[in-house]
Every structure is written in structure tokens, then in C-alpha cells.
Chains A and B, each alone.
Chain A
């Protein structure tokens, strides 16, 4: 029925367009006054009426009789007729069909850009609502400051601290890998590489950025983790098979393109005059970069790192596949830790009961995650914006 309804509305709109256009074109007499708007605008205006009326009655019909009922397409046809008729009648020589139609289009455009706001509101409310329900059974103090996490234990305990610690540990490892690699690559690409070399190097980073995280997770779990375990045990360390190091390393490599492309842009935005001034004082290229370019680009680089941290904190697949499930409170990178995203994913995959704290705790974790990344992103984006204005 859905397809039929849509098809019928489109058909009615096409008929309305043709009718409106023909009528307007018929109004013109040879040598007489001209139309205010082109005939096609009269057609479009009538068609818009048919669309709006058809959609409105179709939705009403679907709500009243159910989506599968024959009433829905019938209502759509009736609504389209009702919507189009008065607009069709309106058409006259000096009717401003274009202006009216353009007003409808503008409203439509505004509605479309409002979807982004709706999404944010949807996220905030869906997460917040379930979190509040969760806090009815578990106190926020216990959730935020508890040091024990086992949602399936008896009695279950919901302490956030081990998850935060695990997330932090993996993020730190990732940034320790991605920070130097990404920044140094960006410097090399922006300051040293010839245009030809750049055109070779840039795709490498773009390919790496385009690899889905599930692929990186597979690689981390099946290749990197055994490798680290093997070499670690050869050196006499005890390494968990799902060590934080493996997940962190691969996550770091995932973030390299992000840091590198953001820093690249920022370094390129530093005015050439600053470099020229430094060269004129006899500084070498690396001295110019270290003492002039980087300090000038520092705010932007800081914000690049913040976006990278937010990305690492929110990354799911690599840690789901390569990090552990046990919530250990440890700073040992060779031990298994778990993260917020891993817990959300494992709690919500499979059967969900929306009355148990176990399922609801995933939403509370989601809230923490959303809040954390939102703050990081907001600050980072503000810094970038400020910085951009400074040199523009």
C-alpha cells in the first residue's frame, strides 16, 4: 500500500502540474497583458498543493485505518484533489505563483535543515529518558563513582570507574601512537614533500581512513593481538590474549589519518610571511617549523588532538573485537580491559528488556559517552573556528 500511495500522490501532483500550467497558459491572449509568473510556476504551485494535501490526508488515513488499509491511497487521492483545487482556482494573470511557490520551497528547505536539530534532540531525549529510568534503580552516585562493574552478576553492580579507566588506557595508547605519527606526517606533507610526492602520499592516508573499523578490528584481534602476545611472552611478560595494547595500537593507526589531515590543513593555514621572516633570520627549515610554524598552529593542533581523542573514545568495533569484556581496573597495557563502547554493544546485542537495569545501563553509558564527546567536539570546533578567523 505504501508504494501505491506514493505513486498515486506523484501521479496526482503530475496531473495538477499539467492542469495548472495549461490553465495559466490559456489565460494569455495575443497582444493582451502578460502573466506575472511563467505558466510552469502556476503548474508547480498547484502540484505543491496536491502534494501537501495528498500527504496530509494519506498520513491521517494511515493513522486512522492502519497503513495496510486501502483507505490510505484513497485518502491520498482525495487529499491531493482537495489540496490542488483552491490553488488551481487561484490562478489568474496577476497571481504571483512564483513568489508563492518559492515560499513553499523555502519552508521545505528550512524543514530539511531542521532534521539535524531533530536528530540531536532525538539522541538527547532517547538517551536521557532511559538514563533517568535507570537512575530509579541505581543511584547516580553508585554509577559514577562505583569501582566495580558487572551488570550480569548477582547482585549486579554498575560502577563506571573501571570502564572509564579502560577507555582512558586504550585512548592513551592510541594517542601515543597516532599523535607523533600523525603530526610528523602532516609536517612532512605540508613542509617537505614535493607536490608530486604529496599526490602519492595523500592517497595512502585516505585509503587508511576509508578502511571500515570492523576490518581493523578483525586485523587487531587475529593478527596484532597474537603477535603482541607472542613477542611479549618471548620476552617474559604475561600478556592477555585481548590486551589493551593491541586494540590501542590499531586504534592509533586508525586515527593517524584524522590527525594528519587536520594538522595538515592547519599548518598550511599558517601565513607564509611568518616562515619567510624566520628564514630571513637564518633559521633552517626544521627550526622554522619547531619555533615558528608549530607555535602558531598550536591551537589548531590541540583541537585536532581533541577530535582524535573523541574519536578514540567513541570507537566501537576495534575494541569490541580486540579488547576484553572483563572490567579490570588496571593501568597495565598488557592486561585485558573493557571500554564504555564495548559494554554498550554487548549489553544491547541480543535480547533487550527495557525494564531491567542491565539494558538501561547501556543507555546511561551512552549518555556518558555522548556528553563526553560532545564537550570535546564543541571545544575543539570552537578553537578551530577562532583560529581560522585569526588568520583569515
Chain B
């Protein structure tokens, strides 16, 4: 009998432990998901906070710059010519194009601003940091392909094939398969002074190779240590940077001319079609304007509505209706508010599309229920004795509410408002409806100029095919999350600092 009972108790305790474990596991999974999300986004976004540039010695050609119109000079041409001059071996048209493609189309901006700041530079040679294009930038950050460079450990013989394009590589030991002997695989690049070859594959016990930079025909044997092998993790056809470009960048890097610096551009530039030039300033300003409109409308309206409903409203059908209404509005999908904005503000009132003013109006309606509910809770938390005391010494009901209850409820109202603000700041869907999704390169200048907001910028960038934009998107998300966490931290601080338990 006792054994049966012990067995039962043991089982019940096991069930207890299991159940408790399920609860902990659920929370653990949620925390794990959050950690995975944040780590994923931070690791994707961090590279975008650094940009790479190459130092180029440029002679500011007096013929290209009109001293009366410094900004109009053809700096791009000067920089490209100076950059090409660094690689005198590069002759072919396509090769020269590939070389220039390493530089960003916005690379000339630095030189332009330097010359504008100091016109005396005209005719002189200056060292300018020129921004690299997105592919070169990604490669240098190691995001396009990994490159393993090993020094050649044994002599290598190069022979040009007769009659056909290409070379044959052989090692020292006759009879052994060249591929294994030299440790080379198809796609590897052999670099040596005076040329570079790409291994194409084995043929009749030899290794065939094609030229990247055609070597001097006089070179037939390279001693050990005179050549390097570059092995790529991604084959050339699958990456956006060619072997030749990699070799050029490697050369620049070994000369110590590649510089990385903090990408202030991300915060200083508007949107752009070129990933390396695109920034979030326009979206940030747009967000700021939109949220400003939203909060300056929703805050007074919300507090007033909350005061009425909590302190003055008689209990009747009308106030019941308002209450049910507010609770329902708080749960209406945000995209519906976008439809409202489109139909009422844009179509009916004819307000401008894409404007922070309209966005702010829509977001104000969106966060209004949240603010009303939070404010009502804060007003409710103030004990009735406060009102009664005020009434007792002869205050009117309004005096009691506005001079005594409201100040005591204000920290709670502010907390709720900041949380509403955070929600408005992160909202995307309704703003898509009112045209805040256009490509807007200019920084918005006012409440009615075309603008976009940070979450919409994230949405727009996430859709673009360039890999560099993926990183920019994650960087924009990091900025967005930092702002939101800061807002939440302020709300928590307010709650902790001013919360009163009655």
C-alpha cells in the first residue's frame, strides 16, 4: 500500500518538475529568439558603420576647374585619371573600367570640398582619401569572399602554350601530378612580380592557367617564395568582384593606402541609389518631424479626453460608447489607419502625399487610444482623498482636477506618452499607404515636403538587391532600435523615479 502511494507521489512530483520546466523552457526559448534576433542584426549591421577609402595623389588640373565655379569642376575625371596612373600596366578598355569601378561615384566629393575650402590647391598635387565602391568595400570587410594567401613553397615552371592562349604550370618533380605537387586547385590565383595567372584546371598531367595580368614572356621559372597562391572561398563567377580587382585592392592594401574610418556619411547623407553613399539623415529628420506632429496632437487631445472620461463624464450611454470605442480603436490594425489617412486626409482634404504632416496626423490617431488608456490609468491611480481634500477647502471640481490630481498623475501620463511615442516611431504600415515610400534623396525641409521615415527606409532598403544595402538596412535598424530603447529607458526611469504608491 505505501509502496503504491510512494510511487504515486513520485509520479506527481515528477509531473510538477516537468511542468515547471516547460514554463522555464518557454521563457528560455523567447529569450533565445530575442538574443538571436539582436545578434543577427548587430552582426549584419556593424560593418556598415565603417567605410573604406583609398589614398590617391591627385593633381588638381587648372584646366578642369573654373576658379569662379569651384563646385562645377570635373573632379571625378581628375581622380579617375590619377587612380589609373597608379596602375600603368592596365591597358585594356574593360580592364580600365574594372579598375575605375573600384571607386565610388561619390569619391570626388571629398576633393571638391577640399578645393572649395582652399582654392590655392588648384594646380597642386594633393593626397585625397577617395571612397571605395560598395563591392570593393564589402570585399575589404571580408564579406564577399575569404581569401587565403600562401607563399609558394617550391619552384614553379611556367610555359606558354604554342598557338593557344594559356600557360602550363609544372612543378619540379617529373612524373608526379602537377595539381597535387603544387597544391593548386582550379580558380586559384598565382601572383608573382610581373604578372598573375588563374589556374583553370588539370590537363594531361599538367596544370593549365590563363592570364589575369599577362606575365613577361621572359619569366619561365619562379623560385620558392617568389610567388603566392590566393585561394578564394567563392568562385569568381559567383562574386561581385573579379580576380583582377582583388589583386589591385591587395596591392593597395599592402602599400598601406587603404583606410577605414567611421562612416559619418551614414548619418549625414540622404538616400541614394549607391549603397556606399546612402545615409539615413533624411529618414531620421522625416521621423522626427512626423513624430513631432503626432505627439503635439495626440498628447493634448489624449490627456483632455482622459480627464473628461475619468473625472467628469457621467455614467451614461454616450460615455460607454466612447469607452468601448477607444478600447476597440486601440486594437484596430495599424494598416486600417493608413486607409483612413489615404481616403480622408489625401483624397478628401487634398493634403500633400508623402508629407510628415499627414504621416503625423495618421500616427496621432493611431497612438491616441494608447495615450488615453495610459492617462486614464494614471488619473485613476491618484487616490480620491486628494480630490476630496481640495473640494473640502472650497476648490471647484475643475480646480481640484487641474491643480491637484493632474500634477500627481503627470509622471504616469508621461510614461504612457513616451511608450506611445515609441510605437509611433516604429510604425511602418500606415505610412506606406500615404506615399511615404518614395525614393527621396533630399533631406526634408518642412512639414509638407516629401519625406520618408526610418522604419520605411528600412523597408525600402531591405528590398534592394545589392548586398551592401543589406548591411545598411541592418545599420538603420540598429539606429532605430537604439532610439526606441532610449525612449523606453526614459519611460522606465520616469516610472521608477516618480511612481508613488498611495
B398–A112 CB distance below 8 A: no
Q: Which residue from B30, B41, B470, B480 sits with its C-beta under 8 Å from A256? A: B30
The closest CB in chain A to the CB of B313 belongs to A113
Known: A113-B322, A119-B329, A373-B333. Contact between A215 and B23, CB under 8 A?
A: no
Chain A contact residues: helix, strand, loop or mixed: helix
Chain A proximity mask over B3-35: 1 for CB below 8 Å, otherwise 0: 000000000110110111011111101110110
B477–A122 CB distance below 8 A: no
Residues of B within 8 A of A187 (CB): 23
Judge if B190 is at the interface, Cβ distance under 8 Å.
Answer: no
Contact segment of A11-19, A58-66, A363-371:
A363-371
Contact segment of A26-34, A79-87, A217-225, A228-236:
A217-225
- The distance in angstroms between the C-alpha atoms of A210 and B486, with both chains bound, is 12
Interface size on A, residues (CB 8 A): 87
Q: Which residue from A113, A183, A215 sits with its C-beta under 8 Å from B308? A: A113
B19–A204 CB distance below 8 A: no
Chain B proximity mask over A298-322: 1 for CB below 8 Å, otherwise 0: 0000000001001101111100110
Judge if A130 is at the interface, Cβ distance under 8 Å.
Answer: yes
* Nearest CB of A to B310, in Å: 10
Best-buried of B12, B34, B44 by chain A (most CB within 10 Å): B34
Chain A proximity mask over B468-502: 1 for CB below 8 Å, otherwise 0: 00100110010011001100100000000000000
Known: A113-B304, A373-B332. Contact between A126 and B343, CB under 8 A?
A: yes
Residues of A within 8 A of B331 (CB): 307, 310-311, 373, 377, 381
Residues of B within 8 A of A106 (CB): 308, 312, 398
* Nearest CB of A to B136, in Å: 23
Judge if B368 is at the interface, Cβ distance under 8 Å.
Answer: yes
Q: Which residue from B16, B29, B325, B339 sits with its C-beta under 8 Å from A284? A: B16
A212–B30 CB distance below 8 A: no
Q: Which residue from A208, A310, A374 sits with its C-beta under 8 Å from B30? A: A208
* Nearest CB of A to B187, in Å: 24
B16–A285 CB distance below 8 A: yes
- The distance in angstroms between the C-alpha atoms of A373 and B334, with both chains bound, is 11
Residues of A within 8 A of B326 (CB): 116
Known: A112-B304, A112-B305, A341-B429. Contact between A222 and B27, CB under 8 A?
A: no
Residues of A within 8 A of B19 (CB): 286, 289-290
- The distance in angstroms between the C-alpha atoms of A213 and B480, with both chains bound, is 12
B335–A219 CB distance below 8 A: no
* Nearest CB of A to B329, in Å: 6
A349–B432 CB distance below 8 A: yes
- The distance in angstroms between the C-alpha atoms of A183 and B23, with both chains bound, is 8
Residues of A within 8 A of B282 (CB): none
A366–B339 CB distance below 8 A: yes
The closest CB in chain A to the CB of B346 belongs to A352
Judge if B195 is at the interface, Cβ distance under 8 Å.
Answer: no
* Nearest CB of B to A188, in Å: 3
* Nearest CB of B to A243, in Å: 17
Residues of B within 8 A of A317 (CB): 428-429, 455, 459
Judge if A145 is at the interface, Cβ distance under 8 Å.
Answer: no
B484–A212 CB distance below 8 A: yes
Chain A proximity mask over B240-270: 1 for CB below 8 Å, otherwise 0: 0000000000000000000000000000000
B328–A377 CB distance below 8 A: yes
B328–A253 CB distance below 8 A: no
Q: Which residue from B20, B336, B428 sits with its C-beta under 8 Å from A213? A: B428
Q: Which residue from A117, A204, A285 sits with its C-beta under 8 Å from B31? A: A204
Residues of B within 8 A of A352 (CB): 342
* Nearest CB of B to A97, in Å: 12
Best-buried of B23, B25, B458 by chain A (most CB within 10 Å): B23
* Nearest CB of A to B102, in Å: 27
Judge if A98 is at the interface, Cβ distance under 8 Å.
Answer: yes
B304–A123 CB distance below 8 A: no
* Nearest CB of A to B358, in Å: 14
A123–B328 CB distance below 8 A: no
B432–A345 CB distance below 8 A: yes
* Nearest CB of B to A15, in Å: 23
Residues of A within 8 A of B68 (CB): none
Q: Which residue from A105, A115, A222, A315 sits with its C-beta under 8 Å from B333? A: A315
Judge if A276 is at the interface, Cβ distance under 8 Å.
Answer: no
Judge if A265 is at the interface, Cβ distance under 8 Å.
Answer: no
Sample (25) of A-B pairs whose CB atoms are under 8 Å apart: A106-B312, A113-B304, A116-B305, A117-B322, A117-B325, A181-B26, A206-B488, A207-B488, A210-B484, A213-B428, A214-B428, A216-B37, A217-B459, A217-B462, A218-B41, A284-B12, A284-B15, A286-B20, A290-B19, A314-B334, A320-B429, A321-B459, A345-B335, A366-B339, A377-B331
Given contacts A212-B425, A212-B428, A218-B41, 7 further A-B pairs with CB under 8 A are A115-B368, A116-B329, A119-B368, A212-B427, A215-B37, A348-B342, A381-B324
Q: 7 shortest A-B CB distances, which residue pairs? A: A314-B333, A188-B23, A212-B426, A126-B343, A112-B304, A184-B26, A109-B308
